[in-house]
Amino acid sequence: MSLVARHLEADGIPTVIMGCAKDIVEHCGVPRFLFSDFPLGNSAGRPHDPDSQALTLELALRVLESAPAARTTVQSPLRWRDDAAWKLDFNNLAKLTPEDIAERSREFESVKATIKDMPGRK
């Protein structure tokens, strides 16, 4: 997405990237970046939390509107949890049982199948 944003910007279309991988997105040199210190895949806010999603969208639009210079990064004030310990545990395979891993794999495959079966998808 970062490379697409750069291409769009080169054609005069302003963009803002919402992401959770600060080092990667900044390395790609996007013009505007809203960083959320959340687990990967949650750059639009917390799952099942419309308030955090609405705030994230509002922040992204503010960044799009007011970024003072190219390669501007703004960090969301939202937190995944009160402390940063989640970063040590989130999807840490060493701390999961084989059953936990198998269940997460089944959930992932179920989501993929649901998306694949959506109307309009090939």
Residue 122 pLDDT greater than 80, yes or no: no
Strand order through the sheet with 72-75:
17-19, 32-35, 72-75
Q: For the segment 5-52, what is each residue's pLDDT rounded down to a tens digit?
A: 889 988 999 999 999 999 999 998 899 999 999 998 899 999 999 999
d(CA 24, CA 29): 9
Q: Where residue 58 falls among pLDDT bands split at 50, 70, 90?
A: very high
Residue 83 pLDDT greater than 90, yes or no: no
Q: Which residues pair with 33 in a beta bridge?
A: 17, 73
Is residue 72 within 8 Å of residue 114, measured between CB atoms?
no
d(CA 32, CA 40): 19
Reading phi first (left if > 0) and then psi (alpha if -120 to 50, else beta), residue 96 is in beta
Domain boundaries, the chain: 2-80, 91-122
